[in-house]
Amino acid sequence: MIRRLLARLLPSRAALPPAEPPAPVSPRDVGLHDAVLDGWFQNDSGELLRGFAITAEDTVLDVGCGEGVATLFAVRQGAAVIFTDSEYDKVRELARQVEAQSANASLGLVSNSLPLPLADGCSSRVVCMEVLEHVDEPEAFMAELARMGRPGALYLLSVPAPVGEHLQKGIAPQSYYQSPNHVQIFTPERFAALVEDAGLIIEHRQATGFFWVMGMIFFWASEKAAGKDPGGAVRDRIHAPFPHLMGGWARTWEEMLDRPDGLAIKQVLDQFMPKSQVIIARKPLDAEDAG
């Protein structure tokens, strides 16, 4: 009797309109929004990260430029740019974009940076993000970066944070922690010592990117379910169309950020398990400044 009554009161499933699938959410777009909240890509002030301003008077060296987000930001500020990467195709494509957007001097180099074929003190801003973990000799690499900056130059440096790296080791393919991928894991203490031993003065430290730690975990889970091992090409494979799990995570994070307390929650999680640890450092003007 109850079933007959409910059947009269409730519409049949066939009468209900089909649910519309949610609009796709791009992990890259959500990740960019997350980064801006952390102080990255401040177009109004010309700061690549708060505390690291770039002006038209600067020459910016971007070592391990990848897709060139830092170089192109510097171009938009009117700076001259030098960019290097070990992959020819990335340097060629970035050179094409720089030439299309700027009439200023620029130089693209295919190099593993040991050594860099550049003169001492060639730049006033040095950027090296998510590169040192790929390097077999980070001390020698860091010494090259220090050599490239003129006295007073600012440095923007980042490497993956250890908690997220160790967590992913149980999920990522073994090849992700072999050359040419991640061969170093830096504790905060080791990262700071690397910078200071190169003669630089640390001015700011920051943890950022919980969103991407979880995003990478969902990426690895999707690859494993599909029977894939991205191996050495992993940096080139994380692009649209993104795995369904990554898109779902991006939607969840976007909704969380829209909450009134979303930013506060994000900041707690960024400290708990950041994707990256970031240092802004300065090259001393002279020996007295260094002391």
Question: How far, rounded to the nearest angstrom, does the alpha carbon of residue 269 sit from its chain's CA centroid?
Answer: 17
- Where residue 284 falls among pLDDT bands split at 50, 70, 90? very high
From residue 1, how far is each of 5, 9, 14, 154, 278 by CA, in Å? 6, 13, 22, 78, 67
Residues 184-227 pLDDT 10s: 999 999 999 999 999 999 999 999 999 999 999 999 988 776 66
Query: What integer best gives the mean pLDDT of the chain?
Result: 89
* pTM, to two decimals: 0.88
Report d(CA 223, CA 71) in Å as an integer: 31
Secondary structure (DSSP) of 6-24: HHHHSPPGGGSPPPPPPPP
Q: Which amino acid makes up residue 276?
A: S
Residue 36 has pLDDT above 90, yes or no: yes
Mean pLDDT computed over 26-51 = 96
Residue 5 vs residue 269, higher pLDDT:
269
Q: Which residue has the tokens 């860099």?
A: 116
Sorted by where each starts, the structural domains of the chain and their CATH numbers stand as 25-286 (3.40.50.150)
Radius of gyration of the CA atoms of the chain, in A: 23
Q: Which helix (H) or strand (E) holds 157?
A: strand 149-160
Quote the percentage of the chain above a pLDDT of 70: 86
Ranking 91-100, 167-176, 260-269 by mean pLDDT, the lowest is 167-176
Residue 172 has pLDDT above 50, yes or no: yes
Residues 76-111 pLDDT 10s: 999 999 999 999 999 999 999 999 999 898 999 999
